[in-house]
Amino acid sequence: MPNIQPTGPVLDLPSARNRYQEAFIRRVAEVFRRATGGDLGLDPAAPGESAWTGGFALLTHRGDAEAVLNYGNLFAQALWACGWDGFTRLPSRATAPEQGREARAAMMETVMRDGFVSGYDGERVAADGSRFIIRDVTVWRLRDADGDFGVAAFFRRFDRL
C-alpha cells in the first residue's frame, strides 16, 4: 500500500470528556458520504457516542507506512478481543491472518485507486487467536480538503470460525 501523507491523528480514548471523538467521527462520516453516497446511520445529535457504542464495527488506521489502527469502536474492540490501548497499537495488516494478507493488500490497492470498496469479505484474526470472517465490509480512503488521513472500514456482519 502506498504511503499516505500526512499520517492520521493519534486519538485519545473516546469518552464523554472528548465527546467520544466527535470531531474525528464527523470527519470520517462526511468522507464516507462523499465517497460512497451512503450514510453510516449515526445519531446526528451525538455522532461520536453513537459510533462508539453502535451495533457495527467502525475502525480506522493512520495513513503512515505501518497503517497503525487509530480508532476502533467498542464493537470492533470486542471482535478483535482487545481494549483501546492494544487495538490502537496494532498495524492494520496484522488484523488479517498471514495467509489472508495478499487478498487484503489487493483490496487496499483498490481502495487507494478508487476511493472505496464495498461488499468485501475477509478472514481476520483476533488478539486471542480466534478467527472470524468480516462480511459485506465497506472500506474507504480518508481524504478531504485537509488531505489524506488514513483508511476506514465499516461492517455489521461477521461469522466466527
pLDDT in tens, 79-129: 999 999 999 999 998 999 988 888 888 999 999 999 999 999 999 999 999
CB 131, CB 125: distance < 8 Å? yes
CB 82, CB 59: distance < 8 Å? no
| Predicted local confidence at residue 101, as pLDDT | 83
Q: Which CATH number fits domain 16-160: 2.40.40.20, 3.30.1050.10, 3.40.50.970, 3.30.450.20?
A: 3.30.450.20
| Predicted local confidence at residue 63, as pLDDT | 83
**Burial classification of residue 46, based on how many CB atoms lie within 10 Å of its CB (0-12 exposed, 13-18 middle, 19 or more buried):** middle
Q: Where are the domains of the chain?
A: 16-160
pLDDT tens digits for 10-53?
999 999 999 999 999 999 999 999 999 999 999 999 999 999 99
What φ, ψ does residue 72 adopt, rounded to 5°?
A: -155, 125
| Predicted local confidence at residue 7, as pLDDT | 67
Contacts of 110 (CB under 8 A, 6+ apart): 117
> Which among 109, 139, 75, 85 is positioned nearest to 2, based on CA atoms?
109
pTM for the full predicted model: 0.93
CB 76, CB 102: distance < 8 Å? no
Give the chain as a 3 state SS string: CCCCCCCCCCCCCCCHHHCCCHHHHHHHHHHHHHHHCCCCCCCCCCHHHHHHHCCCEEEEECCCCCCEEEEECHHHHHHCCCCHHHHCCCEHHHHCCHHHHHHHHHHHHHHHHHCEEEEEEEEEECCCCCEEEEEEEEEEEEEECCEEEEEEEEECEEEEC
CB atoms within 10 A of CB 5: 11
